[in-house]
Chains A and B, each alone.
Chain A
């Protein structure tokens, strides 16, 4: 079983809609969770981090964490064509030190 799993997509949403990206992880003692956005040919850039159960909002982005169910999600409100990218989920577990496990990413296309 993979440490971190994401639906590879592609996920297509119309401009202005809410895009919902999901990620599940296997290690129950995982502590910190991150979402990265990666444009084609570019390196990943950090957009959200979350450590506690519940929601965390930053502008049009909301990260949701449910440790009991071992999933973390990213909601993008009022989706824009510039949000079209691959979104990577990363999970850090205490016993792996500062190493992340990454999902393979979900490709999002926002249709104008």
Chain B
């Protein structure tokens, strides 16, 4: 089974801090995704990557950036955390179009 590991389960940060969320997969999947999930809004795509050093904006990229220096690692960066970025952040990986996502366990980020 594919394992997707997110470095932190819960995180509390202060407004204005730079925040790094890490995601590591143990399979050779090219496709990796970052979502945030909020009540009533569902899952919204922030950024995704098809390969090392490649990145594509999703539906809500503002205030975020990403880094993919190695195939197994996809990092989400909040350049200057704000309270409206308080959310559950989910990393996912996918083998190909006919396969579903495998999600990490999620990081619940609170910005105070």
Binding site for B on A (CB under 8 A): 31-32, 34, 36, 42-46, 49, 51, 88, 90, 92, 94, 97-100, 102-105
Q: Does B110 belong to the interface (CB within 8 Å)?
A: no
B40: chain A residues at CB < 8 Å are 104
- A49 in contact with B100 (CB, 8 Å): yes
- A100 in contact with B101 (CB, 8 Å): yes
Q: Which residue of B33, B90, B103 has the most chain A CB atoms within 10 A of its CB atom?
A: B103
The interface residues of chain B, by DSSP majority, are classed as loop
CA distance A94 to B97 in the complex (A): 8
Query: With A43-B105, A104-B40, A105-B42 given, is the CB distance from A90 to B100 under 8 Å?
Result: yes
Q: Which residue of B31, B48, B99 has the most chain A CB atoms within 10 A of its CB atom?
A: B99
Of the A-B pairs whose beta carbons lie under 8 Å apart in the complex, a sample of 7, sorted by A's number, is A34-B100, A43-B105, A44-B103, A49-B98, A97-B50, A98-B94, A99-B58
**Per-residue CB proximity of B74-112 to A under 8 Å, as 1/0?**
000000000000000010001011111111111000000
